[in-house]
């Protein structure tokens, strides 16, 4: 059974770029789902099994922070691997995100190999 990756970003261009990067780093046997905000992402997570979430923080309707807080507070989603991909650069924000239980954070722009390394560490 293939793994499902959920890409959450309000930018369609960013979602497309992430899909291309996932294929470029060799993840060709995955199903990719997309959401344009945290609310859409929650609906997808509740309707099907998700293996990994790649999320932005700055989004309308429900931010990435709100999405993460909701997922981490529910017993059936608290262990779901989450990688934040953001342009927010404050170091204290990075520390705060790691403390709430995300599995990795990438600052835009990033190299595809950085994402590959994070995903590999999650899989170990």
**DSSP annotation string for 25-56:** TT--SEEEEEESSHHHHHHHHHHS--SEEEE-
Q: Is the pLDDT of residue 98 over 70?
A: no
pLDDT at 95: 65
* Phi, psi of 51, rounded to the nearest 5 degrees: -95, -30
11-45 pLDDT tens trace: 999 999 999 999 999 988 999 999 999 999 999 99
Report the share of the chain in percent with pLDDT over 70: 90
pLDDT at 86: 85
Report the alpha-carbon distance of residue 112 to residue 67 in Å, rounded: 24
Average of per-residue pLDDT across 61-75:
94
Q: Are 84 and 69 in contact (CB under 8 A)?
A: no
Alpha helices in the chain (DSSP H): 12-24, 38-47, 64-73, 91-99, 112-123
pTM of the model: 0.92
Q: Is the pLDDT of residue 99 over 90?
A: no
Identify the structural domains of the chain with CATH numbers, from first to last.
3-123 (3.40.50.2300)
Q: Is the pLDDT of residue 87 over 90?
A: no
């Amino acid at each position: 059974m293939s793994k499902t990756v959920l890409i959450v970003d309000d930018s369609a261009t960013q979602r497309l770029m992430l899909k291309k990067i996932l294929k470029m780093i060799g993840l060709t046997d995955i199903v990719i789902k997309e959401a344009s905000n945290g609310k859409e992402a929650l609906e997808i997570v509740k309707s099907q099994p998700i293996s990994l979430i790649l999320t932005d923080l700055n989004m309308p309707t429900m931010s990435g922070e709100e999405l993460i807080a909701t997922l981490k507070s529910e017993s059936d989603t608290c262990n779901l691997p989450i990688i934040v991909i953001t342009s927010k650069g404050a170091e204290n924000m990075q520390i705060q995100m790691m403390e709430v239980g995300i599995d990795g954070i990438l600052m835009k722009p990033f190299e595809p190999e950085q994402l590959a390394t994070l995903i590999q560490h999650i899989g170990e």
